[in-house]
Structure 1
Amino acid sequence: MTSTAKHAATVLTVPAFADNYLWLIHDGVHAVVVDPGDAAPILAALNQHRLTLTAILLTHHHADHIGGVPELLQHYAVPVFGPRNDAIAAVARPLVEGDVVSLPRLDVEFAVLDVPGHTRGHIAYVRRDGAAERWLFCGDTLFAGGCGRLFEGTPEQMVASLSKLAALPDDTQVFCAHEYTLSNLRFAAAIEPNNLALMARVRIEAAKREDGVPTVPTSIGVEKATNPFLRYSEQEIVESLVEAGRLAPGASPVAAFAALRQWKNSF
């Protein structure tokens, strides 16, 4: 899209590094970037599509999500929104759950959710301006077919965070930050092999990757049907954990989640 005509906001996928996705929310004129780990691909996309950056949104402090912020600020004097509790120096507009972000120069509004687990202060952005398209920008909390590692938080925190996201409407589009889908689904298929929806998804997502097409955004409905980290209480998954000697019979759902995440770490 090279026209400067303004239209309804949409999301542009900007690949970065080996497997990151950076997101540009734009209306054909103005743009807001989510988690710019690298400035170069964002600057190139802004130039290619003739967009002017008006804000930066951050979900957490890891370098592959914030590394491009200083260079972007050299080119654009824009506000940086991000988590209050994740110690990011560039954040000028600190956010916690309950805050609302109105994107500068765009008719888009987000509610903020606290979703600790991957980091202590991780937040997510949920579109709430009444548009037909529901959007979730969740950083590294929820992935297509998976979830983030627990680098700083606890299993209890991550279970609570994922429960918040699973409670969103099924048609909510999930803009996560990495192309981890096929490896996530290989793990999911190993522990829930009788999930027909999952097996169908494996074929669909594999075909996308063969064609060089991103597997994200996904949706909350798809994740609830196929993502083991939203399905950790399902009987087949629990039985797989017990049979593998990773979970004691009768253990709590949180213990099942923790065992599942630990298994995935070494799968």
Structure 2
Amino acid sequence: MKQLIGPCALAVGFSSLCFVGITSVPSVLCATFALYVSGVVPENNYFPDVWFRSNIFSGVYQLYCSHLFGYKYLRPKLHARQPFPHSDYRHGVRCLSGIHKSTSPFPSEFATNSEFYQRGGGLVDLRSLGEEGYDGVTIVPVPIFTDNYAYFILSFSTKRCAVVDPADPVLVLYMLKVIRHLTKLDFILTDILTTHKHWDHAGGNQELLQQAQNRESDDSELMDAALKVYGSDIDKPHACTDYIKGGDVLSVAGGGVAVSVVASPGHTAGSVLFLVGDALKEKDASQRLALFTGDCIFCGGCGAMFEVRSLDEVIQSSELFLGQKLQIHPSNKQLVSSNNVLVYVGHEYTERLLRELINLQKGEEDKGTDGVETGNQKYRKELRIAMGLTRQLRSTFMQDDIMNAVPLESGVESLWSLPACTVPSTLAIERKTNPLLTLKRSAFEQANTDRFSTNKLQGIIYTSNERDIVE
């Protein structure tokens, strides 16, 4: 009965307006319909569920995801291509395996953020990897649009590579040319890994596939004619050649890279994570893993839960990151330390998310008993540490003159000076700072009501003081 209060109040109010002659019945019906489809009424317990689940946002979302209208008309408007990267990719280059020198493309006094630059075995210069004959696997971020990331996975053993979420083919192929120039190795793109169906992640698949198959294309030499495009069999991202599901293990980049596919529904029903390792190194060799999360989690946050179906799905996603599944090498099954699982996310949201979390956690400090630090106190401390490192990175600018050697035909200046990227994070860091991964199970249960609300759940995830850090 409570859910009928809202509709009854509207009916009484509009009927009164009709009764006194202020408006007409057709106008009332139009106004009611407008309120319904617009979704402007905040989600509450005084209207039936259908009022919120069938409004215009649901229809617009379906339209956005459509391969016909969404791809052709909405994608170019909502995800306009930029003439140059939004961040300096060089700060995020890391090696997953093999022996290499920890080298930097920057002056030694420049890399002041020591913790970040030591992650994943240390920052490396692509030039040095080519010069020293490195034979492992390397990750290279590709900043696209205003805040998205694509990623190259390079196998130096096979001279082949895969790319994750290459939604802007122009910048992605340009970065492949940069990589080839710096390493002096002619890497060939053989595989595309798509985390989910949204156009800022899957919108470049068809264009790259067409260029690869058209051997007269200017960039066809950069790609294998048999280019494969992987995506979830649930999401069915645009232009996929091979559908995958959670539990699959892929061999990409000419067999040099092993990939575990991990289902992570919520942001979309078919969202997947890609856990990547070197497929050619011996089990006893020192290795790291790269985890590509798409929009499942960010550094210090999680993606909007557009298609989450139940609270259990969200709890399972949280437990997934807290368990050992994301620490197991996809080919040799070796257990890797959480400090050596490098987290590469889909967007450069780190500074904004951490700032919001710190502001939301302000207030009266919770007091531990007998001087013992509480979970929430630890959480706040870790947030402040992460924010300090992030601010330092985002205020770091170093000129890059690569366009003098590898021109980008976009009319932009030949000298870039961009803020440092904040990827990679690590699984260990996210377990201490991410609001989804630090939330206690008891806090999740607050959203377990007769009427499950993703808005309420996301509010709890970001604002709750019930925190527990898994070391």
TM over 0.5: yes
- 1:116-265 alignment to 2 at 5 Å? 116-127=265-276, 129=279, 132-154=287-309, 155-167=311-323, 168-169=326-327, 170-171=338-339, 172-193=341-362, 194=377, 195-211=380-396, 212-233=419-440, 251=446, 259=456, 261-262=458-459
Q: Is the 8 A contact 1:229 1:257 kept in 2?
A: no
User: CA separation in 2, counterparts of 1:258 and 1:160?
Assistant: 18
Find the counterpart in structure 1 of residue 164 from structure 2. Answer: 34
Q: 1:264 to 1:18 in 2, by over 3 A?
A: farther
User: CA separation in 1, counterparts of 2:176 and 2:354?
Assistant: 33
Task: Give the Å deviation of 1:80.
Answer: 0.8
User: CA separation in 1, counterparts of 2:454 and 2:388?
Assistant: 26
Q: Is the 8 A contact 2:155 2:257 kept in 1?
A: no
- 1:39-78 alignment to 2 at 5 Å? 39-50=169-180, 51-76=187-212, 77=225, 78=227
Aligned positions, number: 254
Identity rate, percent: 31
Helix, strand or coil for the counterpart of 1:26?
A: strand
Task: Give the Å deviation of 1:215.
Answer: 1.0
User: CA separation in 2, counterparts of 1:141 and 1:84?
Assistant: 17
TM-score (norm 2): 0.50
Q: Is the 8 A contact 2:154 2:253 kept in 1?
A: no
Helix, strand or coil for the counterpart of 1:79?
A: strand
User: CA separation in 1, counterparts of 2:427 and 2:454?
Assistant: 18
Q: 1:30 to 1:198 in 2, by over 3 A?
A: same
Question: Which ranges in structure 2 are unaligned for 5 or more consecutive residues?
Answer: 1-125, 181-186, 213-224, 328-337, 363-376, 397-418, 464-471
Q: 1:15 to 1:146 in 2, by over 3 A?
A: same
Q: Could you say which structure has the higher helix fraction? A: 2
Amino acid at match of 2:360: I
Q: Is the 8 A contact 1:59 1:139 kept in 2?
A: yes
Amino acid at match of 2:423: V
Task: Give the Å deviation of 1:106.
Answer: 4.3
Helix, strand or coil for the counterpart of 2:135?
A: coil
Amino acid at match of 2:206: P
Task: Give the Å deviation of 1:186.
Answer: 1.6
Q: Is the 8 A contact 1:30 1:105 kept in 2?
A: yes
Deviations along 1:65-116, whole A, 9 cap, x unmatched?
0111112112323011111100224112111111101113142111111100
User: CA separation in 1, counterparts of 2:454 and 2:356?
Assistant: 14
Deviates more, 1:158-167 or 1:109-118: 158-167
Q: 1:234 to 1:117 in 2, by over 3 A?
A: closer
Are 1:23 and 2:155 an aligned pair? Answer: no
Deviations along 1:167-190, whole A, 9 cap, x unmatched?
234221111110011111122213
Task: Give the Å deviation of 1:260.
Answer: 5.2
Task: Give the Å deviation of 1:120.
Answer: 0.5
Q: Is the 8 A contact 1:9 1:106 kept in 2?
A: no
Find the counterpart in structure 2 of residue 242 from structure 1. Answer: none
Deviations along 1:183-227, whole A, 9 cap, x unmatched?
111222133354211111111111111111111111111011111
**CA-based RMSD:** 2.8
Find the counterpart in structure 2 of residue 101 from structure 1. Answer: 250
User: CA separation in 1, counterparts of 2:307 and 2:456?
Assistant: 17
User: CA separation in 1, counterparts of 2:238 and 2:304?
Assistant: 23
Find the counterpart in structure 1 of residue 230 from structure 2. Answer: 81
Q: Is the 8 A contact 1:142 1:162 kept in 2?
A: no
User: CA separation in 2, counterparts of 1:99 and 1:184?
Assistant: 32
Q: Is the 8 A contact 2:190 2:253 kept in 1?
A: yes
Q: Could you say which structure has the higher strand fraction? A: 1
Q: 1:260 to 1:207 in 2, by over 3 A?
A: farther
Amino acid at match of 1:225: K
Task: Give the Å deviation of 1:257.
Answer: 8.6
Are 1:110 and 2:246 an aligned pair? Answer: no
Task: Give the Å deviation of 1:134.
Answer: 1.3
User: CA separation in 1, counterparts of 2:154 and 2:353?
Assistant: 30
Task: Give the Å deviation of 1:263.
Answer: 6.6
Are 1:91 and 2:298 an aligned pair? Answer: no
Q: 1:6 to 1:90 in 2, by over 3 A?
A: farther
User: CA separation in 1, counterparts of 2:441 and 2:460?
Assistant: 16
Question: Which ranges in structure 1 are unaligned for 5 or more consecutive residues?
Answer: 239-246
User: CA separation in 2, counterparts of 1:88 and 1:197?
Assistant: 36
Deviates more, 1:87-96 or 1:64-73: 87-96
